[in-house]
Amino acid sequence: MVTKTATATNLINVFIADPLSEDGIFPLRQETDLNLNVVIDTGLAPEQLIEKIQDVHVLLVRSQTKVTREIIAAAKSLKLIGRAGVGVDNIDLAAATEHGVIVVNAPDGNTNSAAEHTIAMMTSLARHIPQAYNALKNGLWDRKTYVGVELKNKTLGVLGFGRIGTEVAYRAKGQRMNVIAYDPFLTEERAKELGITKGSVDEVVQAADFITVHTPLLPETRNLINKDKFAIMKTDVRIINCARGGIIDEDDLYDAIVEGKVAGAALDVFVEEPATNHKLLTLPQVIATPHLGASTIEAQESVAVDVSNDIIKFFKTGTVTNPVNMPSIPKELLAQVEPFFELAEKLGNFLSQVTTEPIKEINISYAGEVANYDVRPLTSNNLKGLLQKNHGDHVNDVNARYLSERIGIKINEHKTTTAKGFTNLISVEVKTENEVHTVAGTLLNGLGARIVKVENYVVDVIPQGHLLYIKNTDKPGAIGRVATKLAEKDINIATMQVGRDQVGGTAIMMLTIDNDVTAEDLNYVAQLENIDEVKAITL
C-alpha cells in the first residue's frame, strides 16, 4: 500500500515490512523537507520481499522479517535498516556492514513493556493462571490442582542486567523478592546501590527459585542455560524467558521439566518462531505467549517513533541516534568531534592520491584534545577517504573499516594528549611494500582545517580544491621553473608552500592551483631539471 507519494527528485523509498504502529510512523508521514515515499507491505515471503525492495532506501522491520544477506544484497539502493525494537538478531549485521548499510534500532521504547510482561509471566507461572483459566473455560472448577507458590521471600535470578533485567529487578523487589544477578557489566557498587546481590552465572542459578534471562542472543549466550546449569539448580525452580529463544536450550529445558527438576517455565520466545507446534507447549507446566513482550500500544508507538525519527535524522544530517553497526557518539560529544570528520576524511583522501602501491598498513595518531574522544568514527572517516579513490561510493562510514580489513590493511590507532604546538593534531601514515607516506592536519581556531605536515615537511595548506605535490632536489631555480611551466599551460597558482630536509637535499612544493591538471600537464612539469615527482591531488 502506498501511503505517501512523492516525485522522483531525491525520492527516498521507505519500505515497512512488518506491522508498525500507525501513530509511531507519524513522523514519517508528516515529514515535508524530505521526499519520502512510504510503502507498507507486510507478511511477505523472502522471494517477494527481494522483488519489492530493489529500489528501496530504507527497510523498516520488527522481529518477524528476517533481513538476510540475500535481501540486503538485492536492495541495491539500501542505505538504512530500521529495527523497531531492541533485538537485531533477525538482521544480518555483517552483511549490512559489508554493504555499507547502517542499522538502527529503538533500544529504549519497549523496555517497560518487556519488563512488565516478564513480571506478568512470572506471576502467572507461580499461580498457574493460564492453566486454571483454561480449565474453568472448559467447565472445571478445580481448586486443588492449581495451588501455587508466593513470590515474597523467594529469590529471583536475573541473567543479563541491562535495561530490561534492571527494570525486572526493581519490580521483583516490589514483590519483596530477593534478587541475585549476573551481567559482565554489573559492578558490586551498582548491585549494592540497587539492593541486590551480584553473583556468577553458577551462583545465580544455584540460589534462585525463579530464573529470568535478559541477555541478547549472542554466540556466548546461546544455550547459556543448558543441562549442566539445570543440574545445579534447586529442585522446583521456575524459568522465564522473555528475551530470545535459544538462550535456554529448549531440549534440555524439556528434559528438566519432565524429570521433575524444573517446576515450570514461562516462555515468550522460541528458537523457531512462530512456534505453534513446539514440544514444550505439550507440557502442562509450560505457559507461553507468542512473542508479546513488546506488544503494547505504548511500546509499539514509542519504538516506531524512535526509529522514524532516526530515519529522518539520517537523511537530514547523516547521523543517527541509535546506530547498531557503527560506534555511536553521545549527543554532547558530537558537536566537538564532528568538525574533525571532514579533516580525517581529507587526510585519507590525500594519502590515497600520493600512494602508488596497495596500502598494507595505516597508523593514525590523534594528539591533543581530540584524543579525549571516541576516535573510532574519525578513523572510519579517514579510511573512507583512503578507499574512495578505488571504491567510490561503495565505501562509507559504516563499511570503511570492514573493507579496509578485508583488503588486508592493518589499522593502528594511537592517542596522545600532547600535540606538539597544536591544540589538536591528526597524523596519518600509510605503508605499502616500498613506500611510506605521512600527512598531518589540524583545525585552527576560527580558520578551519589545515594540512600542517606532508611527509616530514612542515606546510600550511587548506585541504580543499586542486593541489600539486612536487618533490624536487633543493637546487636554485626549481621553484621558478615550475611556476613558468605552469604559466605556459595557463595554470594559475593560488598558494605555494615549500619545505626541505636540508640545503641541497630533497624538497617538496605544495601548490594550490585554480583548476585541475591533465596527465600531460603533469608530465610537462615532471620533465623539468631536478624535479623528481609530480602528483595532482584533488580534495
Is position 143 annotated as part of the catalytic site?
Answer: no
Reported as half-sphere exposure (CB side, CA atoms, 13 A), residue 460 has a value of 4
The 232-261 contact track toward ligand NAD, x by CB under 6 A, reads ----------xxx-----------------
Is position 62 annotated as part of the catalytic site?
Answer: no
User: How far is the CA of 268 from the CAs of 113, 212, 273, 378, in angstroms?
Assistant: 13, 11, 10, 41
Q: Does 289 participate in binding ligand 2HG (rule CB under 6 A)? A: no
Residue whose CB is less far from ligand NAD, 193 or 220: 220
* Partner from ligand NAD, ligand 2HG, none binding residue 243, C-beta < 5-8 Å depending on class: ligand NAD
Q: Does 294 participate in binding ligand NAD (rule CB under 6 A)? A: yes
User: Least separation, in Å, of the C-beta of 44 and ligand 2HG?
Assistant: 16
Q: Which residue in 182, 210, 314, 469 binds ligand NAD (CB under 6 A)?
A: 182
For residue 530, give the C-alpha cell: 631536478
Which residue's entry shows cell 532516526?
Answer: 310
Q: How far apart are CA 216 and CA 379, in angstroms?
A: 28
User: How far is the CA of 475 from the CAs of 49, 471, 480, 531, in angstroms?
Assistant: 67, 12, 11, 10
Q: Does 295 participate in binding ligand 2HG (rule CB under 6 A)? A: yes
Residue whose CB is less far from ligand NAD, 291 or 437: 291
Residue whose CB is less far from ligand NAD, 243 or 439: 243
Q: How far apart are CA 449 and CA 31, in angstroms?
A: 34
Q: Does 385 participate in binding ligand NAD (rule CB under 6 A)? A: no
Q: Does 19 participate in binding ligand NAD (rule CB under 6 A)? A: no
User: Least separation, in Å, of the C-beta of 345 and ligand NAD?
Assistant: 31
Whether 437 contacts 348, CB under 8 Å: no
Q: What is the 3-state secondary structure (H, E, C) of 12-59?
A: EEEEECCCCCCCCCHHHHHCCCCCEEEEECCCCCHHHHHHHCCCCCEE
Whether 510 contacts 522, CB under 8 Å: no
Q: Does 294 participate in binding ligand 2HG (rule CB under 6 A)? A: yes
* Partner from ligand 2HG, ligand NAD, none binding residue 396, C-beta < 5-8 Å depending on class: none
Whether 517 contacts 536, CB under 8 Å: yes
Burial state string for 442-480 with b = 16 or more CB within 10 A and e = fewer than 16: bbeeeeebbbbbbbebebebbbeebbbbbbbebeeebee
Other Cβ atoms closer than 10 A to 194: 17
Which residue's entry shows cell 641541497?
Answer: 504
* Partner from ligand 2HG, ligand NAD, none binding residue 182, C-beta < 5-8 Å depending on class: ligand NAD
The 453-482 contact track toward ligand NAD, x by CB under 6 A, reads ------------------------------
Which residue's entry shows cell 529487578?
Answer: 169
Stretch touching ligand NAD by CB under 6 A, among 38-46, 66-74, 108-116, 190-198? 108-116
In sequence order, the 6+-apart residues with CB closer than 8 A to the CB of 3 are 29, 38, 39, 40
Residue whose CB is less far from ligand NAD, 122 or 164: 164
Stretch touching ligand 2HG by CB under 6 A, among 132-140, 270-278, 288-296, 465-473? 288-296
- Chain positions 86 to 105 lying near ligand NAD, rule: CB under 6 A, are 86-87
User: Footprint of ligand NAD on this chain (CB under 6 A)?
Assistant: 86-87, 107, 110-111, 114, 159-165, 182-185, 214-218, 220-221, 242-244, 268-269, 291, 293-294
- The residues assigned a catalytic role are 244, 273, 291
**Contacting residues toward ligand 2HG, per CB under 6 A:** 62-63, 85-87, 110, 291, 293-295
